[in-house]
Amino acid sequence: MSALDLSLREQAAQIAAGELDAGELLDACLARIEERNPDLNAVIATFPDRSREMLDRAPDGPLRGVPVLIKDEWPLPWRAETVGAASVPGVTLEPGESGPYRALREAGAVIAGVANMHELGSSSTGNTSLYGAAHNPWDLERCPGGSSSGPGAAVAGGLVSGAVGADGLGSIRYPAAYCGLTGLKPTFGRSAMEVHHIANTETIVSGPLCRDAADCRLLASALFGEELPEGQRSGLRIGVIKDPFWSDSAPGIREACESALEALRAEVDGEVVQVDLPDLDMILPAALLVAQAEEAAHLIPQVLNGLSPELGLINRGLLKLRAILPLSLTARALRVRAKVRRDVAALFEEIDLLAWPTVPAIAPSLTEPTIELPSGFESADAGNARQGVIANLTGIPGVSVPVGLDEGMPVALQLLGAWGADALLLDAAEALERATDRKFVELRPAAVA
């Protein structure tokens, strides 16, 4: 087995112990990107000299010498981000020292390349990018998930053992689910975000996509700038809102997640309780409006009338639509956010975790990203967003954990916790791994097994 197939923490430990040469690991990583990326299109830029320079200067941190990827959503000192697009309307992007770059450098990690993403981060599918779509290693014709498509495809494809993504409306958790990875959406504000092109964001966070929860803990600790302690949890109260999160998920998804939930409950000697949250139907439109308003200051006619023809048609239409949505709707969305945050806070007085499928169906095809749910055919974006955006609207953390296969494609359970419960979520994810003998985090796509 190549050292590249070790976990992030094994790579770090072996380098620290002098058992693994970090230079050789980086060379192997770059060679594997050369070998596999033509199929995956997960990586859009490598810079071997810069990577070797990072390695030469790597401090003795917890990730010293370990190669990772970073989503095309942050600048590096030698490369401006492109956000998967020909241009970001109204924004000048420049090289710089972004928060995630600084956090990775200070932890001793080596950035081996930049990972692909859905154009402007505007979809949960990852099927559109200036660089072409990234491909799901489990089935190259299917979506890898978005908008952190490249991080998901790269880690599942074995190019690296960890990658940094961003989650503004579920964009770490969807690719984690589609690609069979563990992905953490941290509590808002805990992970490094400096120099993001949406400086005023209240929804977007950086976070890790890795093969399992322990690696997510290691990478998240670097992004947080503080260690996320490991703990044994027992007696957890796990809340379940059946409708629509469970009832309107595809049967194969629901069954695998129900089995996982029962396994987790037994492992932590916990309790599953049915709970309610009011105004569920308003969470998605409120989240969309709040997130879109963060970028709306640039959507003036001079900018919109000069959009790059290389920008995808969907995004051109979306941007122009956002410019004419009534202000009253956004104001009402903020009022709904206030209510949902209070309701969620009250709910977490009664429970420790909320659980439902991360996505309601397996990864759809790249060419036609629609899904079939008990309620009918739906765009993957609509179905996914329904499951994911509550974490971004309210600021709470969430983790996606692989829990099975349906039609040969990964299935994932999402766990949500109260503000600051990031370590608890990772503890619960690890408990779920133990309860299932780690068989789902050890699964590899046939193409890379």
Partner 1 sequence: MEGESAFQGYLHRALETFGIETTEEERAVMTGVWSLYEPGMELLRDADLSSVEPEPYPDLSKPPR
Report the nearest approach of partner 1 to the CB of residue 376 (Å).
Answer: 13
Which CB atom, from 304 or from 448, has the smaller least distance to partner 1? 304
Is the separation of the CB atoms in 206 and 431 below 8 Å?
Answer: no
Q: Does 389 bind partner 1 (CB under 8 A)?
A: no
**In the window 79-138, what residues touch partner 1 (CB under 8 A)?**
none
**In the window 340-359, what residues touch partner 1 (CB under 8 A)?**
341-342, 344-345, 348
For the chain, the distance separating the N- and C-terminal CA atoms, rounded to the nearest angstrom, is 10
User: At 99, which helix (H) or strand (E)?
Assistant: helix 99-107
CA torsion sign, 200 to 203 to 207 to 209?
A: negative
Among 190, 196, 197, 211, which residue interacts with partner 1 (rule: CB under 8 A)?
A: 190
- Would you state the structure tokens that stand for residue 358, as one six-digit string? 């991360």
Q: Does 232 bind partner 1 (CB under 8 A)?
A: no
Give the ranges where 351-421 is alpha helix by DSSP (H). 380-388, 390-394
Which CB atom, from 269 or from 281, has the smaller least distance to partner 1? 281
**In the window 233-272, what residues touch partner 1 (CB under 8 A)?**
none
- Would you state the structure tokens that stand for residue 288, as one six-digit string? 């969309």
Taking the mean position of all CA atoms in its chain, how far away is CA 292?
19
Is 147 tagged catalytic? yes
| Spatial distance between the Cα atoms of 337 and 335, rounded to a whole number of angstroms | 5
Q: Does 420 bind partner 1 (CB under 8 A)?
A: yes
Is 185 tagged catalytic? no
339 CB contacts (<8 Å, ≥6 apart)? 279
List C-alpha distances in Å: 128 to 133, 305, 362, 386, 416: 5, 22, 18, 21, 28
Which CB atom, from 58 or from 223, has the smaller least distance to partner 1? 223
User: Strands 370-373 and 271-274, how do they pair?
Assistant: unpaired
DSSP letter, residue 262: H
Q: Does 31 bind partner 1 (CB under 8 A)?
A: no
Taking the mean position of all CA atoms in its chain, how far away is CA 7?
18
SS3 215: helix
Q: Does 328 bind partner 1 (CB under 8 A)?
A: yes
Which CB atom, from 288 or from 441, has the smaller least distance to partner 1? 288
Residue of 129, 147, 149, 249 marked catalytic? 147
* Segment contacting partner 1 by CB under 8 A, of 93-101, 141-149, 162-170, 284-292: 284-292
Residue of 71, 129, 161, 249 marked catalytic? 71
Which CB atom, from 109 or from 426, has the smaller least distance to partner 1? 426
Q: Does 278 bind partner 1 (CB under 8 A)?
A: no
List C-alpha distances in Å: 279 to 63, 143, 285, 343, 349: 43, 31, 11, 9, 19
**In the window 198-227, what residues touch partner 1 (CB under 8 A)?**
202-203
Closest to 287 (Cα-Cα) out of 315, 329, 237, 247 = 329
Among 101, 131, 178, 188, which residue interacts with partner 1 (rule: CB under 8 A)?
A: 188
The amino acid occupying position 96 is: G
Among 199, 266, 273, 334, which residue interacts with partner 1 (rule: CB under 8 A)?
A: 334
Residue of 171, 191, 221, 400 marked catalytic? 171
Which CB atom, from 316 or from 444, has the smaller least distance to partner 1? 316
Q: Which residue numbers are catalytic?
A: 71, 147, 171
Binding site for partner 1 (CB under 8 A): 187-190, 202-203, 279, 281-282, 284-286, 288-289, 301, 304-305, 313-314, 316-318, 320-321, 323-324, 328-329, 332-339, 341-342, 344-345, 348, 379, 382, 394-395, 418-420
